[in-house]
Amino acid sequence: MLVICAGAPRAVAQANQPDLVKPLSDTYDYWQKTMVLKNYNGWKVITASHRIKSIQNRILSEKGDFPASVFSTPTPPPTLNGLRVLRARSKGATAKLVCFGRVDFGVGGDPSENLLVISYVHEGGRWKYDLAEFVNLGGLEDVRKQLRSGNASYVDGVAFLPDGKTPVQPITVGKAKYIAKVYSFCPGREVKVSINKLSHHRFQNTQQSETIIGGGRDGVNEIWCSIKDLQGSKGNEPLTVRVYLFSQINGVKPVKVFQYQVAEGQIPKANFSSTFKVDPSHAAQVLSR
C-alpha cells in the first residue's frame, strides 16, 4: 500500500461514471477477501498480471519466497465499509475508484478521514485489481472539510485520473544478493527515484521506505532523482533521500550507502543523478556468514 498525499496539477476533469461503482467495488471487495483468507488461487485470478509480476519481484528482492510471502503484510487491506465513493472513472483499459472516509487498517485507535484511491486494469474480459493508494490528508484540513461537505473537486487532479495506458509487464528478477531500500522524508514535495534503471519509486508528502527491485548490486549502483513542490507546500521544507542495505545478520542495523539531504529553508535540486557503491566491507556487515 503506497502512502501518498496528492497535490497534483489540475486536468480536464473526466466525467464520473456511476455505472462503474459496483463492478469496481466488487472487484476490490473480492481482492480484499482473498488477502484476508490467504486464498492464492482467488488472488491470482482477481489481480492484474503485471501487478502479480511486480509483487513477485518485490518478494524476491527481499529474499522471500513467492507465492508463500504474498500474504505477509503488516496490516490487512482496509475494506470499503463506511467509505463514500467520490469518483469512478475509466479510460481505455484502466480505471480508478476514489473513496473518502475513515480508512481502517485494523490497527486500533480512531482512524481519521482520508482518501483511498484504487486502480484497476481491464484484462481477460473483466476489471482486475491493480493498486491501492492511501492518500493521507494530514495537514490538509481544508481539503477534508471540502470533501466532507460534498465538494469533491480536489480529486479531479491528474493523480486521481486513470491514464489509459496498458501497464508494461516488468522484467523478471531473481533473488537479490543484498536487500536494499530507498527512504524519503519529503513533506510538501513529490520525489521520484530510479535505481539502476530498474526500480522506480514515487514519494509524496510522506516519510516512507520502499524495497529496491533487484536489490543492491556489487560495485557501482546508479540513482536518479527528481523533486518538485506539491500544491499547498511552503517550498522551504526539509528533504531527505537515502539508500540502505538491510542486514541478514540478527542485531545488525541497516547500513546507509547513499544520502541526499536538504535542510529546512534550502532549495533542493530539481533533478540529479549520482552513484553509490556496494563493496566487500558492506557485504561483511550485512550478509550472513
The pLDDT, as a whole number, for residue 2 is 37
The pLDDT, as a whole number, for residue 251 is 85
131 and 47 fall within a common domain: yes
Q: What is the pTM of this model?
A: 0.82
233 and 276 fall within a common domain: yes
90 and 197 fall within a common domain: no
Does residue 14 contact residue 96 with C-beta atoms inside 8 Å? no
Give residue 267's domain range.
179-286
Per-position pLDDT tens, the chain of length 289: 333 444 444 444 578 899 999 999 999 999 999 999 999 999 999 999 999 999 999 999 999 999 999 999 889 999 999 999 999 999 999 999 999 999 999 887 888 999 999 999 999 999 999 999 998 888 789 999 999 999 999 999 888 999 999 999 999 999 999 999 999 999 999 999 999 999 999 998 889 999 999 999 999 999 999 999 987 788 899 999 999 999 888 888 999 999 999 999 999 999 999 999 999 999 999 987 6
Backbone angles phi, psi at 31, to 5 degrees: -60, -45
145 and 186 fall within a common domain: no
The pLDDT, as a whole number, for residue 158 is 86
Annotate 154-187 with b (16+ C-beta within 10 A) or e (fewer).
bbbbebbbbeeeebeebeebeebbbbbbbbbbbb
* Residue 276, C-alpha cell as written in the block: 553509490
Residue 120 included in any domain:
yes
Residue 173 included in any domain:
no
The pLDDT, as a whole number, for residue 237 is 94
The pLDDT, as a whole number, for residue 159 is 83
**In a 3-state reduction of DSSP, which class is residue 228?**
strand
102 and 147 fall within a common domain: yes
